[in-house]
Structure 1
Amino acid sequence: MRYFIDIAYDGTAYHGWQRQPQSITVQEELEKALTTLLRSEIAVTGAGRTDAGVHAKQLWVHFDYANLLTPDEQQHLVFRLNRFLPQAIAVKTMTPAAAEAHARFDAIERSYSYFIHQQKNPFLVNQSYFFEAEVDLELMNKAAKLLLGRQDFKCFSRSNTDVKTYLCDIREAFWSREEDRLVFRITADRFLRNMVRAVVGTLLDVGLKKTSVNELKDIIAGGERSEAGASAPAHGLYLTAVRYPEEIFIPYGRQ
C-alpha cells in the first residue's frame, strides 16, 4: 500500500532533504523513524529536494508498506512519528494513495516563500535573511513580472545539473512588506536546483539598482548563470506548499 505523509521541518541542522553519505539529512531521519516504528525497511520519496539550511512548511513524501492501515492506525503512526523524530521535524498528516501515485512526478504546483528582515533580530538568525540595505520594492515587483509564464530559466539554475529541460511555468511571483519583513512568494509547476535563491538574489540587485529591469530581460534570454545575481542565503527560504490532483488520494475503504 502506498501512503503520502505531509511533513514540515526547520532545515538549520540538516544537510538538505536528500540522503547523503556522512551528512545528516531530513530523509535519513524520516526513513529511520518509519523503519523502526513499522519494523520494516522503509524508503521514502519526496516531492523535491531542499538544500542545506532550507526549511519546509509543507513537503509531501510517499512510501510503500505491505499492510493496510486503518484511519486510526494512520493517526496513531503520525502520533508515534512525532514522538520519535527530532524536534525540528514534524509529521502533519498521512493519507493512502493510488499505487502508482508519486510524490515528485505527480505534483502539479509548488510554492516557496523567501523572508528578509532589515533590523537585527536574534530570534530570526536561522529563519530569515538579515539584509540591511534599502531596496526599491516597486522596482523589484516590476522585475518579478518578467518571470511569469513558461520560459527557459537556465540563468537561475545551478551549473552542471542533469535536468532535461530548463523550462518552468511560473504562475505567481511578487514581493510584499509584511509587518517588519520583506517576503517574496513564487509558485510554479516546477523549479530548478537553486533557482529560487538565484531569483531572489537577482531581484535584490534590481532593488539596489545594480541591475535594471531591461537587463533582467537580457539575463533571462541569455541563459548564463554568471550574468544573474548571487544566490540569496539558504536560511531565508521555505518550501510552503506542494499541490496534487485530488484523484491520486484514496479514501479509506476504496483500496
Structure 2
Amino acid sequence: MRYFIDLAYDGSAFHGWQIQPNATSVQETIENALAVIFQQEMPIVGAGRTDAGVHAQQLIAHWDCKGKIDVAQLQFKLNNMLPAEIAINSIYQVKEDAHARFHAIAREYKYYVSSKKNPFQHQYSYYLKRELNMAKMNEAADILKKYTDFKCFSKSRTDVHTYNCKIEFAHWEVEKELLVFTIKADRFLRNMVRAIVGTLIEIGLEKMEVEEMHQIIKSRNRSNAGKSVDAKGLFLTKVEYPETILI
C-alpha cells in the first residue's frame, strides 16, 4: 500500500532534502526513523529537492508499506522520534500508482526579505538594508508569466530534460516588517526561485530596468540574471495534487 507523508521542516540544520554522502538530509532522517519503526529499510520519494538551508512548510513524500497501518499512531511515533526541526503534519493512504513528485500539479514557494534587523528573523529571511521599489518588482514579476523557458534562472549543471515551467502566480506584498514574494508554478528548476528573487531585487534596487527581464529570459543565459539570494529566506509552502490520487 502507498502512503503520502505531509511534513514540514526547518532547513537550517540540514544539507537539503535529498540523501547525500557525508551530510545530514531531511530524507535520510525520516527514512532512518521509519526503518526503526518497521525494522526494515523504508525508502521515501519526495515531491522535489530543496537545497541546503531551504525550509518547507509543506513537502509531500510517498513510501510503500505492506498492509494497512494506523496512520495516527505512526504520525505520533515519528514526531516523537524525529528532531524538533521536522514535523509530520499528516499521513494518508493514496492509490498504488500515486507519485509524490510526478503527480504534483503545482508547487508554491515564498521568499522573505527583512527590511529591519531582527534577531528572530535572521535564519528565516534575507536582511536588506536598502529600500526596494516594489512596484517595479511586481511589474517585472508579471513578465515571468509570459514565458515558459527559464533556463536563465537554472543552475548550469542539472539533469533536467526541459527548462519549461508554467508560472501561474508571482507577486510581492508587505507583511509587517517583511517583503514576501510568492510564486506558484507546475514545476521549478534547481535554484530557480532564488535566482528569480535575486533578479527582481536588482530591479527593485533600480540596478536593472523592468524591461530587461524580457532580454534575460530570452537569452537563456544564467550569467545575465541576478545573483541567487540566500537559501534561508526560501520556504516551500504548498504542493498540490489532483483528487484522483486519493482513496
What TM bracket, shorter-length normalisation?
A: over 0.9
Give the secondary structure class of the aligned counterpart of 2:148: strand
Match of 1:233 among 198, 214, 230: 230
Map of 1:20-35 to 2, 5 A cutoff? 20-35=20-35
Segment drifting more, 118-127 vs 138-147:
118-127
Give the drift of 1:136. 0.2
Q: Which residue of 2 aligns with 1:60?
A: 60
Please give the alpha-carbon distance, in whole angstroms, between the structure 1 residues aligned to 2:246 and 2:233. 32
Q: Which amino acid aligns with 1:201?
A: G
Q: Which amino acid aligns with 2:104?
A: A
Q: Which amino acid aligns with 1:237?
A: L
Q: Which residue of 2 aligns with 1:207?
A: 204
Please give the alpha-carbon distance, in whole angstroms, between the structure 1 residues aligned to 2:157 and 2:127. 30
Segment drifting more, 32-41 vs 48-57:
32-41
Please give the alpha-carbon distance, in whole angstroms, between the structure 1 residues aligned to 2:92 and 2:169. 28
Query: Paired residues, what number?
Result: 247
Give the secondary structure class of the aligned counterpart of 2:232: helix
Deviations 1:37-82 (A, max 9, x none): 122210000000000000000000000111212xxx1101001100
Give the secondary structure class of the aligned counterpart of 2:199: helix
Give the drift of 1:235. 0.1
Please give the alpha-carbon distance, in whole angstroms, between the structure 2 residues aligned to 1:116 and 1:79. 34
1:120 is aligned to 2:117: yes
Q: Which residue of 1 aligns with 2:46?
A: 46
TM-score of the superposition, structure 2-length normalised?
A: 0.99
Q: Which residue of 1 aligns with 2:140?
A: 143
Q: Which residue of 1 aligns with 2:216?
A: 219
Q: Which residue of 1 aligns with 2:160?
A: 163
Segment drifting more, 42-51 vs 128-137:
128-137
Q: Which residue of 2 aligns with 1:247?
A: 244
Match of 2:190 among 193, 197, 202: 193
Q: Which amino acid aligns with 1:17?
A: W
Give the secondary structure class of the aligned counterpart of 2:211: helix
Structure 1 runs, 4 residues or longer, greater than 3 Å off: none
Q: Which amino acid aligns with 2:56?
A: A
Q: Which residue of 2 aligns with 1:93?
A: 90
Give the secondary structure class of the aligned counterpart of 2:4: strand
Give the secondary structure class of the aligned counterpart of 1:172: strand
Please give the alpha-carbon distance, in whole angstroms, between the structure 2 residues aligned to 1:125 and 1:76. 36
Aligned residues: CA RMSD? 0.7
Deviations 1:151-210 (A, max 9, x none): 100000001211111010000000001111000000000000000000000000000111
- The gaps in structure 1 that reach 5 residues or longer are 251-255
Q: Which amino acid aligns with 2:232?
A: H
Q: Which amino acid aligns with 1:29?
A: T
Indicate if the aligned counterparts of 1:149 and 1:171 stay in contact, CA closer than 8 A: no
- Percent of aligned positions with the same letter in both sequences? 52
